[in-house]
């Protein structure tokens, strides 16, 4: 049976007759909480307890009597309160085991987070290494491409120089054979032609009997400038 309890301006019976929410309970002072507990015949459950414990007992009693309304006391919060009350009823050893289990769970989550961060750092490191490798490979290919272009440009330039050099060599003159060879060798040296290229340049200007001598030689003999010169001088 609900008794009428008052303390100053606070009326516990009037409080219980209204819409009770968790927020309203949070606003109550300890003495007011005890008065409400008495109205619910729960004064023995709150005797000698701290305010927080009195509040938990009162919320539990209001929940059981289905007097707690509003959105604050959801099913999840009720379950949480019941769990807290259950933990408080456990023996000290059981409470310690509960706390240790909770701590192990938190430690496991922290370690899992550390592993996740470590994996992310490793992935970033691998990504940067692959990126640097690709950049080095690209630079190497670019250097090779430029080197090939330079080599090709050098060959083209050499051909142009050789073509211009040949313009300095006049057609073979059978009337002055020895002076012609002297003139040819001076041009070749001044243009820094390789000696193994002498015959290649010479054959392009030979005429008459000198051309016949050159054509009569074998491929190996045609590459020997001294032999070509000697055989040509013999026929003049």
Dist CA 163 CA 17 (whole Å)? 117
| E-strand stretches of 172-222 | none
pLDDT of amino acid 218: 93
Residue 21 near residue 73 (C-beta atoms within 8 A): yes
pLDDT of amino acid 152: 64
Dist CA 21 CA 71 (whole Å)? 8
Report which of 232, 224, 174 is spatially closest to residue 199, judged by C-alpha positions.
224
pLDDT of amino acid 214: 92
199 exposure class (CB count in 10 Å sphere: 0-12, 13-18, 19+) = buried
pLDDT of amino acid 153: 57
pLDDT of amino acid 224: 94
Residue 51 near residue 33 (C-beta atoms within 8 A): yes
pLDDT of amino acid 181: 93
> What is the SS3 assignment for 40?
coil
- Token look-up 């606003």 returns 27
Mark the ranges of the chain whose per-residue pLDDT is less than 70.
1-8, 70-95, 98, 150, 152-167
pLDDT of amino acid 88: 57
Residue 59: both structure tokens together: 């919320």
Residue spans per domain, the chain: 6-89, 96-167, 168-234
Dist CA 228 CA 211 (whole Å)? 10
Q: List the beta bridge partners of residue 11.
A: 6
pLDDT of amino acid 200: 86
């Amino acid at each position: 049976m609900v008794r009428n309890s008052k303390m100053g301006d606070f009326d516990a019976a009037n409080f219980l007759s209204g819409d009770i929410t968790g927020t309203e309970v949070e606003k109550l002072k300890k003495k007011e909480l005890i008065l409400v507990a008495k109205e619910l015949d729960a004064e023995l459950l709150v005797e000698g307890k701290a305010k927080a414990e009195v509040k938990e007992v009162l919320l539990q009693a209001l929940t059981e009597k289905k007097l707690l309304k509003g959105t604050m006391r959801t099913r999840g919060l009720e379950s949480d309160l019941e769990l807290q009350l259950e933990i408080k009823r456990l023996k000290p050893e059981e409470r310690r085991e509960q706390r240790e289990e909770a701590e192990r769970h938190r430690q496991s989550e922290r370690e899992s987070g550390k592993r996740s961060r470590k994996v992310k750092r490793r992935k970033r490191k691998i990504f940067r290494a692959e990126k640097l490798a690709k950049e080095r490979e690209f630079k190497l290919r670019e250097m090779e491409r430029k080197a090939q272009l330079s080599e090709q440009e050098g060959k083209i330039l050499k051909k142009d120089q050789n073509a211009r050099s040949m313009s300095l060599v006049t057609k073979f003159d059978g009337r002055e054979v020895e002076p012609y060879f002297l003139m040819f060798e001076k041009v070749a040296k001044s243009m820094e032609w390789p000696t193994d290229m002498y015959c290649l340049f010479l054959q392009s200007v030979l005429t008459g009997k000198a051309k016949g001598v050159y054509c009569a030689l074998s491929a190996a003999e045609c590459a020997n400038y001294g032999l070509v010169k000697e055989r040509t001088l013999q026929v003049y």
